[in-house]
Structure 1
Amino acid sequence: MTIWVVRAGRKGEREDKALKDNLSFIGWGEMPDLAKFKTKDDLKRTLAEVYSNNKSGRINNHANQIWAFLSGIKIGDTIALPLKNQPAIAFGKVVGDYFYKADNPEDMRHCRKVEWLPEPILRSKFDSDLKYSFGAIQTVFKVDRNDAEARIKRMITRPNTKDKIPDSNKDIPSESGLGLYDLAADQLSDFIGRKFRGRNMEKLVEAVLKAKGYETDLCPEGADGGVDILAARGVMGFEHPRICVQVKSGDGAVGREILDQLQGVMQKFKADHGLLVSWGGFKPTVIEEARRNFFQIRLWNDQKLVQEIQEVYEKLPSEIQAEIPLQRSWILVDEE
């Protein structure tokens, strides 16, 4: 089997529907049914017409990815989907050829049928070279470095094992193929996930909220009753919004029972809003319920917490900065 990464949007906007419907999608929604293209050159000509403002380098890059999705990926291959809502990779077996679904939203019309595994595999289970490969910036690409196919197949059949190869055997992808911001965030996520657990994670979240201008109260250690931090604006925290915060530092995605518990304590404390922080991400039912309660509930997974830490880093206490030593870098963005 060949391993392909097919992303579900920059922010994971297609991943819920992909997993629910056993499909894999790519964007490029302005393109017509791809089945009409018999050669990559035909595809490239239409791409250049539809996206006339794009430079030739970008057109070639996009053509290669679309062609891979259309005809490079074979039935029986495996698709890896790096998830945005939890620190994990979903894997599925390709069971159908490309098809076009005109009544889907624009960014979900180009489809492949996939049988997804029941549970994704945590990113932390993979060695660094594979995590770097999963972090590449393209939407569609093959993962084949360092015997990736056999290693991923082993992880799929034995998900409780940990992938590890000797450093001398690693061929690390060049940085030109990676999203450097995403790579840095992924490295920071691994570091924080190892160093901050339980009470330490609660203190880290509290420090971030303080840096964002909230007055906070860290609840006593032990049985939390569904709330770990109380936060509010204003002098002594007497102003609105008032927030109940629940923090989960485990690797597993949290389910509805945790969100229901948070919603209950929001009423008890007369809070305006609830913030659920889960390092292991969220099950789809939690994400769906949070969307229905958009004006009351916010969810932070590991990636969102890392983003918040990066945004307020200079305002964090010196002891937190000492534990998470970061240095700001400026990177020129390639226009292509």
Structure 2
Amino acid sequence: MPMWVIRGGTIGEYETRFHTENKVYLTWDGLNVDLNKADDKDGLNAILSKQYPDTSGNKIKNWTDQIWSFIHDIKPKDWLVLPSRLSPVIHVGQIVSKYTYNKANEDPYYHSRNIKWIERDIPRSNFEQDVLYSLGGFNTIFNISQIQPRFKAMQENDWVPSKHDESSYETTNELIALLQEISRDQIATLIRTKFRGHRLAKLVRAIMAAKNYATHMSTSEGEESDIDILAARGGMGFDNPKICIQVKSSDTPVATLDQFIGTMHRVNAEFGLLVSWGGFKSQVEQERAQEFFKVRLWNQNDLIDQVLQNYDALDNYIKSEIPLKSFWTISTDLD
């Protein structure tokens, strides 16, 4: 049987009304339009684009998919899940009506479906971790039919776990690993978009500044030069260590260290840092050990690690370009 998550607001601000009226609502502000007028998703997309002209096309498309599901894809007798933001509980219900538009209601309660509550206030702790992960996400409305049998089994067991899952710890590890991978991919995409070409050197300079190095940066805004950044300790940069930094933003792996080491000698740098977004060819990896006391190499993963390790000390401009939010989770075997 189909089952859907329908949220009651970012902070649970609509949940009480959902419960008292036995309805779920579309909670998009200012959407006082009869959405039955849209014959297909293109028509709905056009309505939303007109209602929200300052919203990006990608967000409008995402909203179109969610709202179309609320109006057409969700059928009477489908189950719905409302993960509460007000308490650590989950509410389960069933859709009992078609979509209704009521122009006379106050904003944003124009669009509704009637529901019958199957069970309310089920503790989140009754659900296994993979089920709770399935209820997460950024959307307000989405399908979770793949776990409906799990909910049905719990209903038949008075909403308590039917058995202790010995694999839950391993499952948690796998899910956290997947979440970490997705997060790093998103950060990499954002850096690639925001810091193209010579701008990537500005990010590296900000990291060095966060590490309390005085820096001098090449004024070239065009092609990457053989010297992008000079860094040293001390308020004026006169103290050791003195570092020559070259930044390669290309996706092409660096093939040799010879040119970079020559540049280090030319500027009398004691040490060198070569940053390559595209990584390094195997030959360079072999040279890494030979140059261990002089040169450090950062690939894409190393650069992201540096951003995360020094994020709190980065300047406000960099933080605005790479807006990150930390959250706590349990320590696992992956840490």
TM-score of the two chains, using structure 1 as the length reference: 0.49
Greater C-alpha Rg:
2
Does 1 or 2 have the higher relative contact order (CA < 8 Å, sep 6+)? 1
TM-score of the two chains, using structure 2 as the length reference: 0.50
